[in-house]
Structure 1
Amino acid sequence: MPNPPRLRAAALTATALLLACVLTGCGDDSEDEDLTAQKLSWKDCPAPSAAEGGGNPPSPLPDGDPWQCATMKAPLDWDEPKGDTIGLALIRAGTSGPAGERIGSLIFNFGGPGGSGVTTLPAFGADYARLRTRYDLVSFDPRGVGRSAPVECEDDQQLDIRFQQDATPDDATERTEYLDSTKEFNGACEKNSEKVLPHVRTTDAARDMDLMRQVLGDAKLHYFGISYGTELGGVYAHLFPKNVGRAVFDAVVDPTQNPEQGSLGQARGFQRALDNFAADCTSQVEDCPVGDTAQDVKDRIATLLRDLDRKPIPGIFPRQLTQTAATNGIAQALYSKDFWPYLTEGLEQAYNGDGRVLMALSDAMNGRNENGEYSNLVPANIAINCADDKPRYTVGYVERKLPEFRAASPVFGDFLAWGMVSCTDWAVPGAGDHPDVSAPGSAPILVVGNTGDPATPYEGTRKMVDALGEGVGVELTYRGQGHGAYDSGNRCVQDAVNGYLLDGKVPPARTVCS
């Protein structure tokens, strides 16, 4: 499941022009151009593009300072660095502290893959105010995402149909419909984004970040990676260990897992988060409106999903809440404990025949706004994963694995197992079974895991520390709920992260915050 970030018709033209330039190689290319010497032209940020999700330009920071945006040129193909270029969208907030105390730029990647950093950083900018006292806060749309040569596949109407289809087929007819839909989607991606698809691997994005470091004028890359951003950061550290400055990985991807193992781990992670939600709801002083006991909550959810498989209920008009949409919406609500009240409300409404809240949560997961327009979150997510991941799973293989996935999660098992066929008909071969993040010689990297994380289960934290290598990864545990730790507001976590990024103080290995 993609980690959710946040199309207006007016922005479609700009996106189409940018994509056309990518596909035809119409960038400002020069055989002799040194891209490391380029000067960025920082200006007031425009409204987000269609692929970034649309909306209004970012509001000024709390102190009144504006967000600034620029475009950095990078090679389309890093194996041909003097060839065609693409534009990568960047955003920054200049440091708020004295110039003499400025460390450099702190580059953020918020995950996905497929999330727009240009829209996400301003949305959470206030959370990083302390870090801004010594850094320019910088984020970007990775290649294939948002305004950076976006992957384009199906249009809004086609995506509405796709997301209404049953993604957990129970018989031969449903399997055929699901596989045909997947094949059509992948074919549309190849038709509309053929030239960029081979060049959206995580290794490409890591090379972009090292170019970004140089263009921003930093001797070292200071980095804050969240979710998939931890994988990107690990790949960067592997490729450029001597260029790593102060880096934090939060909500850690297990770099040792192949796609099947990652999906199975997510099944366990989301089930664990659902268990925690059910226990929390039924432990309140007031009655839990969606069950009498934790097991009753989960049993009622399972019954709801079975009923929706047979007969959907009204959702956001004119769409209906299907079993797939409800499962997707429940998963979205488990990304943060702050969303648990919405899950309670959504379930309570669904039991009474109203699917609007669960559908709104599902729409957020899929990058659909209230106007029925989609960002390119899902296309970019699939394109990057399929370019990275070598395995191609067959229907027969998935069917053999279903019992194991169902044992891991009665609610999410089928959903995540069938998702493994997403890359089966993909136009580009995958790079490998899992990323290489070994980084001997790198500066220390603070690796933060959350014991209740549904999307990047806690077990991956130690795996990342071990894979980075001796003397590199420093493990920090947060005993909490939700996806990620720093944005939970936990003072212990924030003090440890701030202490490292701002003052270079590495906390003791295996520190535990609760």
Structure 2
Amino acid sequence: MSDRIRSTTFVAALCCAALLLVACTQSTTGTAGPGGPDQQAQLARFYEQQLSWGPCADFAVSASDREAFADPKFECARLEVPLDYADPGGRTGQIAVLRQRATGERIGSLVINPGGPGASGTSAAASLSSRVAQSPLNQRFDLVGFDPRGVGASRPALDCLNDAEWEAERADLDVDPSPAGVDQTEAENRQYAQRCSERSGGPEVLSNVGTRDVVKDLDILRAALGDEKLTYLGFSYGTRIGSAYAEAFPQNVRALVLDGALDPTETTVDRTVKQNAGFQQAFDAFAADCARQPNCPLGTDPAQATTAFQALTRPLIDKPVGAENGSRTLSYPDAVTGTIQALYLSQLWPALSRGLSMLASGDGTILLRLADIYNGRDPDGRYANDIEAFISISCVDEERITDRDQQAELIRRANEAAPFRNDGRGIVPALDPCAFWPSPPTSQPHVPQVQGLPATLVISTTGDPATPYQAGVDLAKALHGNLLTYEGTQHTVALQGVPCVDDAVSKYLIDGALPPVDTVCRAG
């Protein structure tokens, strides 16, 4: 499968921490999308649609959603969009939308996207609701989350593996660098791409799930919500949606907050290597903190922590360990994935330390639960389509590698940047599923053209493992926006209880007042 680490958000980390503690809108306003007169006429019916709001129970795709969506303060609807914007009279899709109404004098809608790609915006909005309950944002804005096309409760949904196939995939090592091993892995990846096409609705669906099309859906959503201009908060991959929207519809932007940036000018290879380096930086920070605690499973010398981690995890390649009282097993890929999940947020470091200590004692339960969160597995063994959507969207958003030598060089650089996750068996230069995708990429790295865009706010965290700090600096420059720096080790920070950051976000979104240039916020 893919060797790339995905960009998830604070929502997954918060859910992980909890588990380990074991009516109609107004008519269209604003400016419609681009296109000739005929296309504009065909798109008009989408821009003019009225959303029918109702209970959210049917929109839940996970156990946590089913519990959260039962709250009557949330209402849900489906937004109809063209499946292919080049043929707006053809097949259509439905975008799942969740809303919590403003409690006071309403400015408009605050639309959020939590990242991924593949994370559910409806789930994120429900999770974020409690964190902004006492915030002025809750009073002035309808809080709106949407599942991008193919994701979560949107239809058609991306579907590549059933639950049993996902369990087998997680146990599949793909560590054999021999020609036969490479051929086998590529055959699996080719089959994966074929299954995605067959089970998701065909090549037409896979061709049109990228950010290029999501931003057009977002503009239709803006209109259907009755907002003349878009107010948007995007985390992680959600910053790509935000910056792409800013380029496509600068005249329709009221305010953009982009936290945990993807640099739109960066190549896929460079971003992958830098992200791996970011996770190694977070691992090193965890190891230094662990070394100061009694009984650290990685020892008292942070310089030896990577070697100690490898000594703990690499034996799993040949012999997985039991977990969940013997009902399941922890594989090597899941041990690394569980560790990566915990590195997104420093508050999860104690859980990671406990997990590694338990692994040393022959119990993989905590690391397996962390890996379950990353992979979107419910306690009942059902999988959401987070990872399937991540791969599918990446395959049409990212540059494609179709040469084994180039793939080998990428893996070599990634292993060098993040040695803690190097399996030590040699490079397996198998092409990933994107090399066999039935449709070409729809995006490429470039400097956004955003003439007429109002002032934006970009937030970047100095120790962000998934979206390194410099990407935020570069995105702010590309959008001619203001940069707010947060000094910390975690992935994204907005509306997570840091007063300096949250106050700046609220003032900007409500009043348009940006923080002073070069503002730096710190924990506590």
Using the size of structure 1 for normalisation, the TM-score is: 0.88
8 Å CA contact retained: 1:405, 1:417: no
Native 8 Å contact 1:395 1:421 kept in 2: no
- One-letter amino acid matched to 2:152: G
1:510 is matched with: 518
SS at match of 1:118: helix
Q: Structure 1 residues 338, 167: CA separation in 2 closer, same or farther (over 3 Å shift)? A: farther
Backbone CA RMSD of aligned residues: 2.3
Q: Which residue of structure 2 aligns with residue 133 of structure 1? A: 139
Q: Which residue of 2 aligns with 1:148?
A: 154
Is residue 349 of structure 1 aligned with residue 358 of structure 2? Answer: yes
Counterpart residue number, 1:96: 103
Query: Are 2:437 and 1:426 equivalent residues in the alignment?
Result: yes
Shift of 1:436: 5.2
Partner Cα separation in structure 1 for residue 476 and residue 297 of structure 2: 41
Deviation of the 1:345 alpha carbon: 0.9
List gaps (5 residues or longer) in structure 1.
Answer: 7-29
What does the per-residue CA deviation read over 1:432-489, in whole Å, with 9 as the maximum and x for residues that have no partner? 3326533121011100001111111111011111222xxx311110001111011442
Q: Closer, same or farther in 2 for the Cα pair 1:345/1:487, shift >3 Å? A: farther
Match of 2:116 in 1: 112
Pick closer, same or farther for the CA change 1:413–1:234 going to 2, 3 Å. Answer: farther
User: Given the alignment, which residue of 226, 229, 233 partners 2:238?
Assistant: 229
Aligned to 1:23: none
Note if contact 2:306-2:419 (Cα within 8 Å) is conserved in structure 1.
no
The answer as to 2:66 corresponding to 1:56 is yes
Instruction: Say whether residues 1:477 and 2:485 are aligned partners.
Output: yes
Query: In structure 2, what is the equivalent of residue 325 of structure 1?
Result: 334
Report Cα offsets for 1:80-121 as digits up to 9, x if no partner.
223322111100000011x3xx21000000000101111221
Instruction: Please tell me whether residue 78 in structure 1 is matched to residue 82 in structure 2.
Output: no
SS in 2 for 1:329: helix
Contact 2:355/2:364, CA 8 A, preserved across alignment: yes
Residues 48 and 119 of structure 1 are in contact (CA less than 8 Å); yes or no, is this contact kept in structure 2? no
Partner residue in 1 for 2:37: none
Distance change (3 Å), C-alpha of 1:54 and 1:427: farther
Give the AA of the match of 2:474: K
Superposed counterparts of 1:142-291, under 5 Å = 142-149=148-155, 150-193=157-200, 194=202, 195-284=204-293, 286-291=294-299
Does 2:454 correspond to 1:443? yes
| Corresponding residue for residue 87 of structure 1 | 94
Q: Is the alpha carbon distance of 1:177 and 1:277 closer, same or farther for their aligned partners in structure 2, counting shifts above 3 Å?
A: same
Deviations 1:358-407 (A, max 9, x none): 11111111111111111011111111111112322433322234432222
Q: Which residue of 1 aligns with 2:303?
A: 295
1:371 aligns with 2:377: no
Go from structure 1 to structure 2 and tell me whether the alpha carbon gap of 1:334 and 1:421 turns closer, same or farther (over 3 Å shift): same
CA shift for structure 1 position 31: 6.6
Which 10-residue stretch deviates more, 484-493 or 140-149?
484-493
CA deviations over 1:237-269 (Å, ceiling 9, x no partner): 000011111110011112222221121011101
Comparing 81-90 and 237-246, the one that deviates more: 81-90
Could you say what secondary structure the match of 1:184 adopts?
A: helix
Equivalent residue number for residue 502 of structure 2: 494
Larger mean Cα displacement after TM superposition, 329-338 or 229-238:
329-338
Contact 1:402–1:413 (CA<8 Å) still a contact in 2?
no
**In 2, Cα distance between the equivalents of 1:77 and 1:87?**
12
Q: Which residue identity lines up with residue 144 of structure 2 in the other structure?
A: V
What is the DSSP-based 3-state SS (H/G/I as helix, E as strand, rest coil) of the residue aligned with 1:139? strand
Q: Is the 8 A contact 1:152 1:189 kept in 2?
A: yes
Alpha carbons of structure 1 residues 80 and 42: separation in structure 2 relative to 1, 3 Å? same
Give the one of 292, 295, 307 matched to 2:315.
307
Unpaired stretches in structure 2, ≥5 consecutive residues: 13-40
Q: Does structure 1 residue 390 correspond to structure 2 residue 399?
A: yes
* Partner-residue secondary structure (3-state), 1:387: helix
Conservation of the 8 A alpha-carbon contact between 1:394 and 1:421: no
**Letter of the aligned partner of 2:68 in structure 1?**
P
Q: Do the aligned partners of residues 436 and 215 (structure 1) sit closer, same or farther apart at CA in structure 2, a change above 3 Å counting? A: farther
Q: Distance in 1 between matches of 2:369 and 2:187?
A: 26
Q: Which amino acid aligns with 1:478?
A: Y
Distance (Å, rounded) in 2 between the aligned partners of 1:318 and 1:183: 31
Q: Does structure 2 conserve the Cα–Cα contact (< 8 Å) formed by 1:264 and 1:417?
A: no
- The residue aligned with 2:31 is none
| Structure 1 counterpart of 2:371, one-letter code | S
CA distance in structure 1 between the partners assigned to 2:451 and 2:44 by the alignment: 32
Secondary structure, in 3 states, of the residue corresponding to 2:79? strand
- 1:34 deviation in Å? 1.3
- Cα distance in 2 between the residues matched to 1:354 and 1:399: 34
Matched letter for residue 477 of structure 2? D
Q: What is the alpha-carbon distance in structure 1 between the residues aligned to residue 314 and residue 516 of structure 2?
A: 48
Cα–Cα, structure 1 residues 41 and 293, in superposed 2: closer, same or farther, change >3 Å? same
Of 453, 458, 462, the residue aligned with 2:473 is 462
Aligned CA distance change for structure 1 residues 231 and 168 (closer, same or farther; 3 Å): farther
Aligned partners of 1:31, 1:243: CA distance in 2, in Å? 20
Q: Name 2:25's counterpart in structure 1.
A: none
Matched AA of 1:160: E
Query: Aligned-pair distance for 1:33?
Result: 6.5
Aligned length: 480
User: Aligned equivalents of 1:409 and 1:94: distance in 2?
Assistant: 44
- CA distance in structure 1 between the partners assigned to 2:184 and 2:323 by the alignment: 22
Q: Which moved more, 1:407-416 or 1:392-401?
A: 407-416
